[in-house]
Amino acid sequence: MSGTPPPTLRRLGERVDIRLGALLATERERWSSFDSDLARPIDEIARLVLAGGKRLRPAFCHWGYVGAGGGDDDPIDTDAGSALELMHAFALFHDDVMDDAATRRGQPTTHALSAAEHAAAGWAGESRRFGDGVAILVGDLAFVYADQLMEAAPVEAIRLWNELRIELNIGQYLDIVGSVQRERRIEKAERICRYKSGKYTIERPLHLGAAVAGGQRAIDRLASHLSAYGVPLGEAFQLRDDVLGVFGDPSVTGKPAGDDLSEGKRTVLVALALDGAPADEAKLLDDSLGRPLDQAAVATLRGIIERSGAQAAVEQAITDLTGHALAALDAAPVTATAGAALRDLAEAATQRIV
């Protein structure tokens, strides 16, 4: 993987950072003046959403907006992009609790930090339950702030916003059920891939931006074209995430090596490996998923996945899906500026140069 993020992505990210920073600063002042303990949940949201992140969802939303004829620097566009980041934060807070993840982007997760604070202070009750409760409530608060930022959007955009959020939760449910059921079917892993991440990362933000810019008329004119680009690209994005979850460098991903394996994630990569590995290696991989793994164990499982041909197959799928997306983009009736930016974003999303 090489290259640098598109300059427009950095600019859009800065715009979203400013909007989120202003919102959270106002809310912190509002609630901490009422009770000093209420600074903490706002600070936790800010710690996550202002600590970096790729800002891909706001970028796809923006270029859907511009592609439908919207301006390049409109506040409603920035609000929609910022809402997507807060909605993503909601998902991460909850996801970290469900996965019992200790770190996120190289920093302690909210539930882990809160549990440690509870234990150190000797407070009443169970530290883990306190930490989980704090993280869930902080995630819910981010969810509400996301809704507030969408208040000025047209009704068609609100309908899409609601559908996006339903799809995200459906995908999360499929993910946790697939893990406990030890799901091995590739088609089920692909469905989880599409709904847990792919649709709400690319396709729906594109739709949302178009709807914010032009309401139902823009959706009628552009939705099918944006889907033809966004669906395969979203799947390629999640497949890249699957590869990084197993083979990624912790200094880059901010998560422990092989984190998806120890969390028991039934990804397309894992499903292909279970299908393609010799029986003894497939059994070792299957039995190891969801268990604590040291570096030696992670290396062993990586070897199984690589030898099975799954890693190579996923890399080829990423290439093919990205090609389908770009071909669809060439036929999409979006503005030339938006088309060029979406081409650059396809590389950024699937090669993770951001």
Q: Per the domain annotation, does 1 fall within a domain?
A: no
Residue 273 lies in a domain: yes
Judge whether 309 lies within some domain. Answer: yes
Q: Mean per-residue pLDDT for 170-186?
A: 84
Tokens of 206: 């594109």
Specify the pTM. Answer: 0.92
Please write the tens of the pLDDT for every residue from 7-33. 888 899 999 999 999 999 999 999 999
Percent of the chain clearing pLDDT 70 (strictly above) = 98
Q: Identify whether 88 is part of a domain.
A: yes
Size of the chain in residues = 354
List the one residue out of 71, 84, 4 whose CA is nearest residue 337.
71
The domain containing residue 159 runs over which residues? Answer: 7-351
Nearest alpha carbon to residue 345 among 83, 78, 67? 67
Residue 251 lies in a domain: yes
Task: Calculate what percentage of the chain has a pLDDT beyond 90.
Answer: 77
Report whether pLDDT(6) > 90.
no
CA atoms within 13 A on the CB side of 254: 14
pLDDT band at 249 (very low <50, low <70, confident <90, very high): confident
Radius of gyration of the chain (CA): 20
Contact 177, 195 (CB under 8 A): no
Summarize pLDDT for 257-302 with one digit per residue, the tens.
788 898 888 889 999 999 999 999 999 999 999 888 999 999 999 9
Residue at 83 is within a domain: yes
CA-CA distance, 296 to 13, in Å (whole number)? 38
Indicate if the pLDDT at residue 353 is higher than 60: no
Higher pLDDT, 354 or 129: 129
- Asked whether the predicted pLDDT for residue 142 surpasses 60, the reply is yes
CATH (domain of 185): 1.10.600.10
Q: Do 10 and 62 meet the contact criterion of CB atoms below 8 Å apart?
A: no
With bands split at pLDDT 50, 70 and 90, how would you rate the model's confidence at 3? Answer: low
Number of folded domains that form the chain: 1
Partners of 108 in the beta sheet? 103
* pLDDT confidence of residue 178: 82
Strand boundaries in the chain, DSSP class E: 103-104, 107-108
pLDDT value at 333 more than 90: yes
Collapsing DSSP to helix, strand or coil, 107 comes out as strand
Mean pLDDT of 208-234: 96
Using pLDDT thresholds of 50, 70 and 90, give the confidence band for residue 123: very high
Predicted pLDDT at 180: 84
Six token digits for residue 278 = 């010799």
- Report the pLDDT value the prediction gives residue 1, as an integer from 0 to 100: 40
Residue 2 lies in a domain: no
Give the three-state DSSP class for 74: coil
Residue 75 lies in a domain: yes
* 40 backbone dihedrals φ, ψ, rounded to 5°: -60, -50
Instruction: For residues 287 and 301, give the distance between their C-alpha atoms in angstroms, rounded to a whole number.
Output: 11
Q: Give residue 34's pLDDT band: very low, low, confident or very high (50, 70, 90).
A: very high
Torsion sign over Cα 215, 220, 222, 227: positive
